[in-house]
Chains A and B, each alone.
Chain A
Amino acid sequence: MKILLIEDEMELAKAISTYLSGEQYRCELACSYDEGMSKMNQYSYDCIILDLTLPGGDGLKILETLKQSGKDDGVIIISARGSLEDRLQGLTIGADDYLSKPFHLSELAARIYAVIRRRQLGSRNLIRQGALMVDVLARIVTVNGYEITLTRREFDLLVYFISNKNKVISKNAIAEHLSGDFADMLDNYDFIYGHIKNLKKKLSEFGGDNYLKTIYGTGYKWEV
């Protein structure tokens, strides 16, 4: 899957593309407004990651041009501006999602995964992984054909892990994903243990393989 990353901050761009490149994605880089605009015009991508403050122009213009030319590449805005107006404006013009800096790479990967799945598969949104089958839209999970009941948190966790497969995800990235700013303010990530323990138990109940590995005290990894 092809991704265009329009970001002028080289270090950040390098980190994002290293994280995303691998089995799932092929990442192209554009470091300025003009470069981003021309790449966006020439090719088509599954998802465009767009920074708003670029040398040479406003990233929102690229989004506008994309929408005017009728292309349907998915767009996720990443911005340091992070103000409410920017967010609303971006989403009104047609961005699929908005992430304000700083963010966890795993969070970005999860958003990209969601955008791409929404676009490619339409309403049939099935993820298959060994004995595991996840219907993202209907929020139904089956293991070896048996349906298991997950809480909202457990389901969110599962999709989050799958969209970051074979990556180590830190505990605070997971906590932030689950309860946003609030988890961060409480400064306590221990609550995710409970959810993960339950998820593991439910998955293994009907013979699902144990994909989820604990990595020291740091985080978790969904290994496939």
Chain B
Amino acid sequence: MNKLLNRSLNKLLIYAAIVLCCSIPIYYFIFSALLQYELDEHNIILTERAGREDSYLIIVTVTILTVLFSSLLLIGLVLLNRRLSRELWRPFYDSLTKIKDFDLNKHQAVAFTPTDIAEFAELNDNLDKLITSSISAYNQQKKFTENASHELQTPLAIMQSKLDLFLQEENLSSHQHQLIRELSAAVTRTSRINRNLLMLAKIDNKQFEQQEIINLSGLINDLMELLGDHQSDKNIKLETNITQDVSVRANRVLVEVLLQNLFSNAYRHNIQEGRLLIRLDPSTIVIANSGKEALDSDQLFKRFTSVKGSGTGLGLAIVHETCASLRWSVRYAFENQKHYFYVRFI
């Protein structure tokens, strides 16, 4: 990509070079004519050899002079252009840097440097309006999700408790039992989606700032014990390589939520007789499970893009946001028929 001013400068430079090149023969003819005129005036007759030498001399002198001045001109143009562009476009680059640094999640409006150039001032004004309205739309949407999930808690609690109560009825038929089970599964799933949405809202609101030293090895071992209960259901082969006593300073809730989501994902989306790989070294957690084909890594971490079976479609979004909030990084890869998630925490 070319910079705007370089593009016009290039044209100018080419034009100047052509004009100067064309001027060389013109100078030559004029100087030769003048010389001939002077020689005739004073009745000087040159030998053919001396005449040739004179013409050469003129050509060399004219060429050297032209090259000298044209280089001066061209260098001057380039330098001037560079200075001008730097000064003229400074407000523009200034605004550009600020927009680049802008992050909707930080809820910080951008303060543009005032400029006395009308076009840039107008640009900044409009950018400012655009950003302010984005921030307010974003906040409204966030508030809405949060309020909606809060409001849903109570009706969900009523549904859940009425179902529990219904189960106490005497003489329920097996068909009725089946209906209760199915209803119950739906209520549980709704509760889970709701709880995950609330979790995302809380991460957004930065409600998990408190930090403590966490023994990652211990935490992972605890989760593996819980997972051990389920391992036999799909005949999953668990392979672990946990470095002991790896500790990290972070928020406990976030780390727990992150690991729970990754672990349960690796279990839920595993295939029958599949393998589940858990590795912890002093800087990275690796969790992998057998799979058939690679997932779309662009869409993977977005909300509600990968709802499969009875999932909530929010698990990996939570993984992504907890990592961002912890300032850790998460990366997905599909290697050797396995889905790998690498979490770097240092």
Taking Cβ atoms with an 8 Å cutoff, the residues of A that contact B are 9, 11-12, 15-16, 18-19, 80-85, 100-106, 153, 167-168, 170, 172-173, 179, 181-188, 190-191, 194, 215-219
**Could you tell me if B158 and A11 are in contact, using CB atoms closer than 8 angstroms?**
yes
Number of interface residues of B (CB under 8 A): 47
**Could you tell me if A186 and B268 are in contact, using CB atoms closer than 8 angstroms?**
yes
- B333 sits at the interface (CB 8 A): no
A219 to B207, CA, bound (A): 37
Least CB distance, A37 to chain B, in whole angstroms: 21
A33 to B208, CA, bound (A): 30
- B336 sits at the interface (CB 8 A): no
Which B residues, 100 to 156, have Cβ-Cβ distances below 8 Å to chain A? 150, 153-154, 156
**Could you tell me if B164 and A186 are in contact, using CB atoms closer than 8 angstroms?**
no
**Could you tell me if A185 and B165 are in contact, using CB atoms closer than 8 angstroms?**
no
**Could you tell me if B164 and A15 are in contact, using CB atoms closer than 8 angstroms?**
yes
Least CB distance, B262 to chain A, in whole angstroms: 11
Taking Cβ atoms with an 8 Å cutoff, the residues of B that contact A are 150, 153-154, 156-165, 167-168, 174, 177-178, 180-181, 184-185, 187-188, 191-192, 195, 198, 202, 207-208, 223, 226, 229-230, 233, 253, 260-261, 263-264, 267-268, 309-311, 315
**Could you tell me if B160 and A103 are in contact, using CB atoms closer than 8 angstroms?**
yes
**Could you tell me if B161 and A19 are in contact, using CB atoms closer than 8 angstroms?**
yes
**Could you tell me if B160 and A82 are in contact, using CB atoms closer than 8 angstroms?**
no
**Could you tell me if B226 and A103 are in contact, using CB atoms closer than 8 angstroms?**
no
**Could you tell me if B157 and A80 are in contact, using CB atoms closer than 8 angstroms?**
yes
6 A-B residue pairs with CB within 8 Å: A18-B165, A81-B150, A82-B198, A103-B160, A104-B164, A170-B184
Contacts of B263 in A (CB 8 A): 182
**Could you tell me if B264 and A103 are in contact, using CB atoms closer than 8 angstroms?**
no
A188 to B229, CA, bound (A): 10
Q: Which residue of chain A lies nearest to B234 when distances are taken between CB atoms in the complex?
A: A188
Counting residue pairs across A and B whose Cβ atoms lie within 8 Å, the total is 119
Q: Which residue of chain B lies nearest to A167 when distances are taken between CB atoms in the complex?
A: B168
**Could you tell me if B268 and A172 are in contact, using CB atoms closer than 8 angstroms?**
no
Q: Which residue of chain A lies nearest to B267 when distances are taken between CB atoms in the complex?
A: A186
Contacts of B156 in A (CB 8 A): 101-102
**Could you tell me if B188 and A172 are in contact, using CB atoms closer than 8 angstroms?**
yes
**Could you tell me if A191 and B233 are in contact, using CB atoms closer than 8 angstroms?**
yes
A191 to B233, CA, bound (A): 8
Contacts of A153 in B (CB 8 A): 229
A153 to B230, CA, bound (A): 14
Contacts of B264 in A (CB 8 A): 182, 185-186
Q: Which residue of chain B lies nearest to A191 when distances are taken between CB atoms in the complex?
A: B229
Least CB distance, A177 to chain B, in whole angstroms: 13
Would A103 and B157 be within 8 Å (CB), given that A15-B162, A182-B223 are in contact?
yes
Contacts of A170 in B (CB 8 A): 163-164, 167, 180-181, 184
A104 to B184, CA, bound (A): 11
**Could you tell me if B268 and A168 are in contact, using CB atoms closer than 8 angstroms?**
no
**Could you tell me if B153 and A101 are in contact, using CB atoms closer than 8 angstroms?**
yes
**Could you tell me if A12 and B230 are in contact, using CB atoms closer than 8 angstroms?**
no
Further contacts, 5 of them, CB under 8 A, given A167-B168, A191-B229, A215-B167: A12-B154, A15-B162, A85-B207, A101-B157, A102-B160
**Could you tell me if B154 and A184 are in contact, using CB atoms closer than 8 angstroms?**
no
A19 to B159, CA, bound (A): 14
Contact of B154 among A19, A101, A105, A172 (CB under 8 A): A101
A190 to B226, CA, bound (A): 13
List the 7 closest A-B pairs by CB distance, nearest first: A80-B153, A15-B161, A102-B157, A185-B264, A101-B157, A105-B164, A191-B229
**Could you tell me if A181 and B260 are in contact, using CB atoms closer than 8 angstroms?**
yes
Contacts of B195 in A (CB 8 A): 181
Q: Which residue of chain A lies nearest to B251 when distances are taken between CB atoms in the complex?
A: A84
A153 to B225, CA, bound (A): 12
Least CB distance, B251 to chain A, in whole angstroms: 10
Contact of A80 among B154, B174, B208 (CB under 8 A): B154
Q: Which residue of chain A lies nearest to B231 when distances are taken between CB atoms in the complex?
A: A191
Contact of A172 among B153, B162, B185, B315 (CB under 8 A): B185
**Could you tell me if A218 and B159 are in contact, using CB atoms closer than 8 angstroms?**
no
Contacts of A191 in B (CB 8 A): 229-230, 233
A78 to B22, CA, bound (A): 92
A190 to B162, CA, bound (A): 24
**Could you tell me if A105 and B230 are in contact, using CB atoms closer than 8 angstroms?**
no
Would A19 and B188 be within 8 Å (CB), given that A101-B154, A185-B261, A217-B181 are in contact?
no
Least CB distance, A103 to chain B, in whole angstroms: 7
Would A190 and B158 be within 8 Å (CB), given that A167-B168, A168-B167 are in contact?
no
**Could you tell me if B188 and A83 are in contact, using CB atoms closer than 8 angstroms?**
no
A167 to B157, CA, bound (A): 19
A106 to B316, CA, bound (A): 31
Least CB distance, A87 to chain B, in whole angstroms: 11
